[in-house]
């Protein structure tokens, strides 16, 4: 049993046009949604999965959001946008289904929500994304590809002894897989990141044979992890 995706769309005001969202979703993904409206709630069923979106007139209360903003490397305005958001959309899927199908639908929903002016960010724990970046990545779904960088967070820190860097994933367990770790590699930082990114994608799709990798106690993560040598 995997954990169904739950995310937050940050807003700079407690207003949101769900009709505009529905139109964007139907136009982009070429499918109709049968909406159910009840005040600040909007929901529909797609491929047997229930999508629920609730407008919450207050900031996201999770304290980990501020930490994610501080640690954001790719989004320079992350801390400012998080500190200024005053409302959010809580987005959740229900009814268990294949995790790839569930996360694909989740990203299609989030993508369609980001085309309004008062949207300032996306929080899919532990990842925090700038709207433009999320939109760009999610567009991969239009050509049948998977935006796994939106689903699995790759964390890293360095530089350790002799300039070595360490990487680990957060999110593989949602797909029934063990997390990955690369411990103190001296390889190029960017190249290592993209190597791990491709391994994550191939593992989620089942294309990677993980039987040859070493599994042992996690260094940065509780439980056992798959150790990757690069």
- Chunk the chain into consecutive blocks of 10 residues (it has 230) and report each block's average pLDDT, rounded to whole numbers: 82 95 94 82 92 97 94 92 97 88 96 97 96 98 96 84 88 94 92 95 94 94 94
Quote the pLDDT of residue 104. 96
Put the strands of the sheet holding 214-217 in their side by side order. 153-158, 165-170, 180-185, 224-227, 214-217
CB neighbours (10 Å) of residue 61?
Answer: 9
Quote the pLDDT of residue 160. 59
Quote the pLDDT of residue 155. 92
Quote the pLDDT of residue 3. 67
CB neighbours (10 Å) of residue 145?
Answer: 12
Quote the pLDDT of residue 97. 74
Please tell me what DSSP assigns to residue 1. Answer: -
Its pTM stands at 0.93
Quote the pLDDT of residue 39. 83
Q: What is the chain's Cα-based Rg?
A: 18
> Residue 175, CB half-sphere, CA atoms under 13 Å: how many?
23
Domain ranges of the chain: 6-150, 153-227
Quote the pLDDT of residue 15. 95
CB neighbours (10 Å) of residue 152?
Answer: 24
Quote the pLDDT of residue 1. 47
Using CA atoms of 16, 117, 129, 80 in order, give the dihedral in degrees to the nearest 10: -110
Q: Which residues contact 165 (CB under 8 A, 6 or more apart)?
A: 156, 157, 158, 159, 182, 184, 185, 186, 189, 192
């Amino acid at each position: 049993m995997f954990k169904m995706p739950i995310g937050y769309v940050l807003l700079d005001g407690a207003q949101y046009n769900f009709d505009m969202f529905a139109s964007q979703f139907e136009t982009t993904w070429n499918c109709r949604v049968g909406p159910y409206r009840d005040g600040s709630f909007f929901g529909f069923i797609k491929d047997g999965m229930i999508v629920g979106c609730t407008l919450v007139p207050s900031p996201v209360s999770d304290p980990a959001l501020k930490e994610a903003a501080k640690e954001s490397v790719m989004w320079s305005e992350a801390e400012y946008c998080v500190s200024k958001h005053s409302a959010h959309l809580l987005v959740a899927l229900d009814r268990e289904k294949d995790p790839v199908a569930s996360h694909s639908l989740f990203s299609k929903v989030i993508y369609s929500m980001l085309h309004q002016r008062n949207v300032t960010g996306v929080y899919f724990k532990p990842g925090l994304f700038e709207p433009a970046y999320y939109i760009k990545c999610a567009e991969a779904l239009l050509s049948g590809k998977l935006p796994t960088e939106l689903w699995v967070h790759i964390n890293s820190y360095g530089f350790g002894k002799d300039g070595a860097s360490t990487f680990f994933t957060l999110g593989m367990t949602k797909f029934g897989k063990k997390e990955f770790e690369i411990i103190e590699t001296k390889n190029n930082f960017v190249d290592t990141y993209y190597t791990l990114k491709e391994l994550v994608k191939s593992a989620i799709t089942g294309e990677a044979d993980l039987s040859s990798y070493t599994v042992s106690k996690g260094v940065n993560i509780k439980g056992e992890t798959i150790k990757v040598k690069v």
